[in-house]
Amino acid sequence: MSISSKYRNRLPLALIVGGAVASAFTWACTSSTDDEPSVDSSVPSREDGGRDVSTGPHDESPEERDASKKPGEEEDAGDGGGELVLDAGDGDASDGGDAGGPPPNVIVQVAVGPDSPGWSFACALSAPGDVYCWGAGYTLVPGAIPNLTDVVELSAGNRHVCARRASGIVACWGQNISGQLGDGTTTGGGSPVEVFELTDAVEIAAGESHTCARRASGSVVCWGANNYGQLGDGTTIAHVIPELVTGLTDAVQITARWSSNCAKRATGQVVCWGQNNSGKLGDGTTTAQLAPTPVPDLTNVEEVRIGYNHTCARLDTGALRCWGGNWSGQLGNGQQNASSRVPVTANITDVARVAMGNNLTCVATSAGAPFCWGEGSGVGDGVFGARLTPVATPGVTDVAQLAAGNLVSCAVRASGEVWCWGNNRDGALGDGTKVERWTPAPVFGLPGSPVDTPDGGVDGGP
């Protein structure tokens, strides 16, 4: 790979010489915003069953940052923040290439951490199963997570990441104050550790300080923080190893963000549980739910995605129904500051993929055209400010997968290139700078990606 002198001084030495770049994970041990009332500690320790699957570096001293804003199965294209990413019929992310040959070395998924600027990062998954991360806690350009291979799915929480391997085993790394890594401890670090006794995961979804996995049987398990009932076991007791979600046996897709989760059932109906700020659980209330609760009058759902304070469901007709907070117009119905505790219809059709940011919604049509609406620079149309209805995101017309965080959005193109836009305070755009870009520009240094950033990115702030 040839690197121009313009960008060479922005790349870490390990990337320039072709070596693997380990996560610095300066935030692996920093405090969480969750206030746990109680923790179930009667579980095996790592020595009794949790397994370290990497020989990379472990915890480093935390670095304080200021946050400027608040905080098979049916496999739909997901938001990467992260859930499933592949179109039905594509197989998992390890598939690709000619029959019997290795998969092409291109990116198939990107996941964006949803925390506030000061904590923003992103990770990408290549077809061969390698993982690369950049932004807060990492470097300004993608670096490989060492000793982690055969990965088929990523999910990014606020300050932790989980990877599902082809075997059904899940490995996680990052912050672990609430046990969100699932290895039976509350010790965080940059080395992936295996989730305790989970060997049949077919989908994963990471929240703020908890994580969930859908098993091959259709059941769901969750672990980590539980102060709003986000583990779905009917209690508010945190667990450091997987706990079975109550009464959910036919899940075909799951999603998690912050302290809430939703699942699509085999019937095409949706259930949600956990924190219910702004009515994002869709049950007509703002009361937290400790177990899966149906979203009424919502059927024929193909995909459900949850954000910081709103949720959207893609129907089999290509219509999009959203509910919850709407102070930035993220419901897409042309209104602002008019939250809805029940689903309303967004002003868009032919939706094929959905990604949820904190107060932001992005979709791609069946033709791969991206549209976003809601808060700020994550919309990608070159203008900072709320968008109350969907607007086209310029520069990318062949989107295969989308991910969104807090003022940061990314897309994987059909070519395997990753393009990102929005707030770049932490280097979450992966272009080697901390310059904001309000229109899409490529991440460089990834397999199959250009090295230099092209013209067309809108640099600077208001």
Summarize pLDDT for 384-412 with one digit per residue, the tens: 889 999 999 999 999 999 999 998 999 99
Closest-CA residue to 112 (of 333, 358, 341):
358
pLDDT at 59: 31
Buried b / exposed e over 433-446, threshold 16 CB at 10 Å, is: bebbbbbbbbbbbb
Low-confidence ranges of the chain (pLDDT < 70): 1-102, 451-462
Round to whole Å and give the CA distance between 372 and 365.
11
pLDDT at 40: 57
pLDDT at 338: 85
Reply yes or no on domain 5-248+377-442 having CATH 2.130.10. yes
pLDDT at 305: 98
Strand partners, 314: 303, 320
pLDDT at 357: 93
pLDDT at 39: 54
pLDDT at 448: 83
pLDDT at 449: 80
What SS3 state is found at 375?
coil
| Residue 293 contacts residue 327 (beta carbons within 8 Å) | no
Q: Which two tokens stand for residue 34?
A: 């969750």
pLDDT at 47: 37
Strand partners, 64: none
Q: How buried is 264 (Cβ within 10 angstroms: 0-12 exposed, 13-18 middle, 19+ buried)?
A: buried
Closest-CA residue to 397 (of 420, 422, 429, 364):
364
pLDDT at 86: 34
pTM recorded for the entire structure:
0.82
Buried b / exposed e over 54-87, threshold 16 CB at 10 Å, is: bebebbbebeebeeeeeeeeebbbbbbbbbbbbe
Helix (H) or strand (E) holding 6: helix 5-8
Backbone angles phi, psi at 48, to 5 degrees: -90, 5
Q: How buried is 158 (Cβ within 10 angstroms: 0-12 exposed, 13-18 middle, 19+ buried)?
A: buried
